[in-house]
């Protein structure tokens, strides 16, 4: 373990994260739609692309934020307002809860970031009541939060912790394949939901991957 200046994650870093996630949602729109076509109503790609395109437009229109919370709140409100599906309120709540946990500062440290993401997970649970193994976005987000926190607690730096979180989200996403859906539209299929990857867990893995590639400066 090396002792260096604590990494701070500032408004500009969060701005990069939002934009990277919007690009990923756009790039993977067809994949998310195909996954939702198998066990839902084939709109998750359109929902995430529309929502994140609107979020980036809202961030651009605001012309700067003096706090991380203000940026995250803008994204959350825009998602709630622009996405009709389950994912709009769920992702919206994720960002709004992160905003509520972010205080008033223009920069956070690594531990704060883990706390924010975990608060966002709590919002998703409050809103959607998902439990582990229900085959939802929870199943990618919860392992990512746990990995982020555990990695930081063990003394790894933020870049390492976010990389671990991204791997955990990917593994959580993959683990949804054999699950029987208990929440959302996929639950209507009963046993026929088994054998398909959850669309929301897939977009969450993109969100966490985007965090790993943007929240830490290349040479901190
Ligand atoms: P809709 O289901 O309304 O068409 P989307 O297709 O955009 O909305 O999003 C579907 C995703 O939302 C699912 O793959 C799942 O991950 C997530 N989801 C649905 N219901 C819940 C819930 N109650 N809790 C957590 N995530 C959920
Ligand atoms: Mg859908």
* Residues 10, 17 contacting (CB under 8 angstroms): no
* pLDDT per position as a tens digit, 35-56: 999 999 999 999 999 999 999 9
Q: Helix, strand or coil for residue 103?
A: coil
Angle formed at CA 212 by CA 218 and CA 165, multiple of 5 degrees: 140
Pocket of ligand 1 (CB under 6 A): 36, 40-41, 43-44, 47, 85-87, 90, 124, 128-130, 136-138, 183-185, 198-201
- From the list 31, 39, 36, 33, the residue with the least C-alpha distance to 194 is 39
Ligand 1 atom 19: residue of nearest CA? 184
Q: How large a percentage of the chain has pLDDT more than 70?
A: 96
Q: What is the largest CA-CA distance in the chain?
A: 52
The rounded mean pLDDT for the chain is: 95
Q: What does the pLDDT average to over 166-175? A: 98
Whole-number CA gyration radius for the chain: 16
Q: In this model, does residue 215 exceed pLDDT 50?
A: yes
Distance 201 CA to ligand 2 centre (A): 12
Quote the ligand 2 centre to 12 CA distance (angstroms).
31
Question: Over the stretch 143-169, which tens digit does the pLDDT of each residue have?
Answer: 999 999 999 999 999 999 999 999 999
Separation of CA 106 and ligand 2 centre (Å):
35
pLDDT tens digits, 57-108: 999 999 899 999 999 999 999 999 999 889 999 999 999 999 999 999 999 9
pLDDT at 47: 98
- pLDDT given for residue 220 in this prediction: 44
**Ion ligand 2: residues, CB < 5 A:** 36, 40-41, 43-44, 85
């Amino acid at each position: 373990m090396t002792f260096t200046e604590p990494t701070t994650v500032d408004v500009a870093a969060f701005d990069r994260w939002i934009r990277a996630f919007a690009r990923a949602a756009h790039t993977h729109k067809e994949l998310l739609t195909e996954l939702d076509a198998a066990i839902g109503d084939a709109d998750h790609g359109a929902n995430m692309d529309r929502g994140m395109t609107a979020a980036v437009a809202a961030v651009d229109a605001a012309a700067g934020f003096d706090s991380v919370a203000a940026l995250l709140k803008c994204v959350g409100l825009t998602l709630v307002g622009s996405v009709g599906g389950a994912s709009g309120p769920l992702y919206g709540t994720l960002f709004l809860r992160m905003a509520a946990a972010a205080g008033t500062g223009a920069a956070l440290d690594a531990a704060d970031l883990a706390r924010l993401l975990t608060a966002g997970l709590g919002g998703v649970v409050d809103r959607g009541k998902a439990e582990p193994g229900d085959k939802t976005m929870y199943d990618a987000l919860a392992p990512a939060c746990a990995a982020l926190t555990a990695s930081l607690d063990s003394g790894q730096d933020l870049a390492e912790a976010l990389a671990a979180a991204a791997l955990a989200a990917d593994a959580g996403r993959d683990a949804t394949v054999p699950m029987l859906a208990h929440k959302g539209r996929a639950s209507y299929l009963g046993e026929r939901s088994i054998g398909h990857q959850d669309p929301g867990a897939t977009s969450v893995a993109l969100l966490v991957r985007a965090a790993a590639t943007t929240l830490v400066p290349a040479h901190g």
